[in-house]
């Protein structure tokens, strides 16, 4: 397994050095409807450079932005596939996914997406989709914080609709049980390995008090805290997250290295120091998942390889291609 993933990552790196050989359509099946890394090679050759530059500036200004952009990609792909639907504002018949429970007062980075799109439109109008720029921004966010890189298959088009109900029902919640979380991943065609690896993105970023308060004070509805939460860590968290109020107070998802993409997140889970219930259950509720947590805690390279593989897999969920959808001029609204 590790050998296979190592080959895939090395192949991707080789492709990045020999675009004329590896990034063309023929290497990804060819024909309309397929995604491949060299999609914009002729139509917008500076596309990836532009995305990378704007993301780098945003992360330099606010390190937290890397996690925010990566989260936008996750939340987009889990609703209607990776089609940029999350980026749409409410208008006419469109009920924005930004108002869903997982996204309201939480999803952020839309201004950075606007900046990327404006730069792309200036360079090559009507060419690069919002869905693709968001996928590239997620990859660049990983790299800029010390995480893995990968070749991003491109060619997604943008949806002309959004699904508020899909956003409420498809995206795993912080207090979901392990079985619920795995079911929601399986519904997207992602397996248990993808679940554990992709959850490793919580090695960067922060979460709001309202997302983990239940673990501190009333985990099972009986007024008692989560017994799987390490006690000194819980005491520290209670100082920033009171029983009421302070909903927007932030705590690091990875207490040891919130600004660095590494495998510390998995080491925390073994010490019962996962911030969210959805984090800790990866270690405490399923034997196969627990073994993967241990593997990634011991071997950062193994984690990086699987994370890259799973990000590519997630990024390929139900894309709109060919003549489906559109290329939005403004990521916040459909073209008139």
Instruction: Give the per-residue pLDDT at 106.
Output: 92
pLDDT at 11: 39
pTM for the model? 0.89
Sequence-distant (≥ 6) Cβ neighbours of residue 313 within 8 angstroms: 189, 190, 194
Name the burial class of residue 10, with classes exposed (0-12), middle (13-18) and buried (19+) by CB atoms within 10 angstroms of its CB: exposed
**176 with 285: CB under 8 angstroms?**
no
Kindly list the catalytic residues: 75
Domain ranges for the chain = 46-205+253-316
What number is the average pLDDT over the span 161-181?
Answer: 96
Q: How many CB atoms lie within 10 A of CB 230?
A: 15
203 is in an annotated binding site: yes
| 191 marked as binding residue | no
Q: Is 81 annotated as a binding residue?
A: yes
Query: Which residues 6+ apart lie within 8 Å of 157 measured at CB?
Result: 83, 129, 131, 319, 320, 321, 322, 324, 325, 326, 327
Check if CATH label 1.10.520.10 holds for domain 46-205+253-316: yes
Query: Does 85 belong to an annotated binding site?
Result: yes
For the chain, counts of helices (H) and of strands (E) = 15, 2
Q: What's the pLDDT score for residue 33?
A: 54
Could you report the per-residue pLDDT of 105-148, keeping only the tens digit for each? 999 999 999 999 999 999 999 999 999 999 999 999 999 999 99
């Amino acid at each position: 397994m590790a050998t296979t993933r190592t080959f895939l990552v090395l192949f991707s790196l080789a492709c990045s050095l020999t675009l004329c050989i590896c990034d063309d359509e023929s290497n990804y099946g060819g024909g309309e409807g397929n995604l491949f890394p060299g999609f914009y090679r002729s139509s917008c050759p500076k596309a990836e450079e532009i995305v990378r530059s704007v993301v780098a500036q945003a992360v330099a200004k606010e390190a937290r932005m890397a996690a925010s952009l990566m989260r936008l990609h996750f939340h987009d792909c889990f609703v209607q596939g990776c089609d940029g639907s999350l980026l749409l504002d409410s208008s006419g018949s469109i009920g924005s996914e930004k108002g869903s429970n997982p996204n309201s007062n939480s999803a952020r980075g839309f201004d950075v997406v606007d900046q990327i799109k404006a730069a792309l439109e200036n360079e090559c109008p009507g060419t690069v989709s919002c869905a693709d720029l968001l996928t590239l921004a997620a990859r660049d966010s990983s790299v800029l914080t010390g995480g893995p890189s990968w070749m991003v298959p491109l060619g997604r088009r943008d949806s002309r609709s959004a699904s508020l109900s899909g956003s409420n029902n498809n995206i795993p919640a912080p207090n979901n049980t392990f079985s619920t979380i795995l079911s929601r991943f399986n519904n997207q065609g992602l397996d248990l390995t993808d679940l554990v690896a992709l959850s490793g993105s919580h090695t960067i970023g922060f979460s709001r008090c309202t997302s983990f308060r239940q673990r501190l004070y009333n985990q099972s509805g009986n007024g008692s805290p989560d017994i799987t939460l390490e006690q000194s860590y819980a005491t520290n968290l209670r100082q920033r997250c009171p029983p009421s109020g302070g909903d927007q107070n932030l705590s690091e998802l990875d207490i040891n290295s919130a600004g660095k993409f590494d495998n510390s997140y998995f080491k925390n889970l073994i010490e019962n120091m996962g911030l969210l219930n959805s984090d800790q259950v990866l270690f405490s509720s399923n034997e196969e998942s627990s073994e993967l947590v241990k593997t990634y805690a011991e071997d950062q390279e193994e984690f990086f390889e699987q994370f890259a593989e799973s990000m590519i897999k997630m990024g390929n969920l139900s894309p709109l291609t060919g003549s489906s959808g559109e290329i939005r001029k403004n990521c916040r609204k459909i073209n008139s």
